[in-house]
Amino acid sequence: MLNRERLFDLKRRADDKRRRERAATDRRAAAQERARAAEAWGPQTYGPMLLGAFAPLARQLFGNDNLRDVLAEVLKFSVGAVAGCDSAGITLYQHGHVVDTVTTDAVAAELDDLQFATGIGPAPEAMQGEHPVYVADLTAASRWPVLGATASQLGMSSALCYGLYVHRPSQWSALGTFDLYGATPDGFSEDDREFCSILAAYLALAVATAQRHDDVDRREAALHRGLSTRDIIGQAKGILRERERLSAGDAFDLLRRVSQRLDRKLSDVAQHLAETGELPG
């Protein structure tokens, strides 16, 4: 029974690999057709037709407030437009930790997760270095035996990884990685790599912009909380000054002593007094 299940699993993986290889062949054929159709514009594979298709996507990068949706669209575009790409993922990194992962499928998710869980592989190297990392055949890369074996099981051979960077005061900061995987060895041409560098640059800018917006939102929320706290403490002091005939300083000291005695935030004590007219406890 076990042997039958094993044979079935092997057959399924072989079928999946053949389908991915056929899909890669079809994409390469489509890329060749685009090149022939664009001959009047020049011999480049990534000529005006493909760049024209990328233009609407570039507008989405800055017209959508949902970063995950934007990243998912870029990954979908990458698999459809880059001839050697069968699977892709984006891993976002902050303060020494992975904060989010977006992938086209479970294959990219497993390969990305494995690399960042161990800190070993072309994706972490791309994020720590200054240049993209291209691996023509993961299964033959002796530096990463576990990753190579996993890639082989998943039917992936080549990998192209870009670090996403933004320039902050006095230094470049890593935001994460953009990782593309291909079913065929040496699946990414020089044109593929040049075009993907454009995608990586746009991705880095989109991620940095989203993070900056989040920082601004957090600061505004903290400011509003601070103003609200100051206002409620002012109300509580006013009640005490009127009722107990205290100075502003003495009213604040009374609130502080109650806060310390009850081990409650001063703002909570003030809120209770403002709402009930009585000091808690």
The CATH number covering residue 174 comes to 3.30.450.40
Domain end, chosen from 216, 239, 266, is at: 216
Domain end, chosen from 200, 216, 232, is at: 216
pLDDT in tens, 183-224: 999 989 888 888 888 888 888 888 877 666 555 456 555 555
170 & 102 share domain: yes
Looking at residue 248, which CATH number applies to its domain? Answer: 1.10.10.10
Q: Where are the beta strands (DSSP E) in the chain?
A: 87-94, 97-103, 133-135, 158-168, 171-182
240 & 184 share domain: no
241 & 209 share domain: no
H or E element, residue 138: none
Tokens of 222: 């903290």
The CA distance from 265 to 259, in Å, is 6
The CA distance from 272 to 275, in Å, is 5
The β-bridge partners of 162 are: 178
197 & 80 share domain: yes
The pTM assigned to this predicted structure is 0.61
Q: Range with the lowest mean pLDDT among 30-34, 148-152, 162-166?
A: 30-34
243 & 212 share domain: no
Residues spanned by the domain of 246: 217-276
If we measure between CA atoms, which residue out of 236, 214, 244, 235 comes closest to residue 280?
236
32 & 9 share domain: yes
166 & 154 share domain: yes
157 & 20 share domain: yes
The CA distance from 256 to 34, in Å, is 73
152 & 187 share domain: yes
Domain end, chosen from 166, 191, 216, is at: 216
pLDDT beyond 80 at 46: no
Domain count within the chain: 2
42 & 120 share domain: yes
pLDDT in tens, 58-98: 666 666 667 788 888 889 888 888 888 999 999 998 878 88
